[in-house]
Structures are given as C-alpha cells and as structure tokens.
Amino acid sequence: MTFRMRKPNPKGETRVSLCSIEGYKDNSLDKDNDFNVIRGDESGTNLTMKGVSQNIIATDNLGNTKQLTPGEDNIWFPGNKVTERRA
C-alpha cells in the first residue's frame, strides 16, 4: 500500500511515498517526492542509481547513510528499509 501526500503547496505540505519501488528514477511517479522509502528484505536492501539523474542521500533503518550519484549500481544497505531524499 502506498500513502501519498499532495505536491508541495503554499501551505508547505510535504510529498512522500512510504513504499516506493522506483524511487527517484526519472520515469518514476515518486520522482518529485520530498522523501521516498524503499523496502528491502531481511538480508538488506540493494539499490541502483541507473535511470536517476540527481544525487540522492540514502539512510537505512540501522543508521547507515550514503550519498548516491547517478549511474551507480548494486548499492547495498544492511537495513531492510532505506529512506531517500534529494541531496
């Protein structure tokens, strides 16, 4: 299930996806969100930046943080949930 809030407006509302699959990929419905949460499994979370044209800061639920750059592949986090935001 995905929970979405509306695009930012003059009232300052935040847009977020709590269960994004595509994250900030250029063709993703979630690319304009302020935050995206990517879920992995019990062995961790593997991300790719292929198809993403902006830098991203990613932090897993164990506190591991990495700055991701466009084109990177096989970026592994030990946590089972990763929160992404634009750098």
Q: CA gyration radius for the chain?
A: 13
Residue 4 has pLDDT above 90, yes or no: no
User: In the prediction, which pLDDT does 50 show?
Assistant: 96
Domain map of the chain by residue range?
A: 16-86
Give the tens place of pLDDT for each residue, 7-27: 554 556 777 888 898 999 999
Residue 1 has pLDDT above 50, yes or no: no
Give the tens place of pLDDT for each residue, 26-80: 999 999 999 999 999 999 999 999 999 999 999 999 999 999 999 999 999 999 9
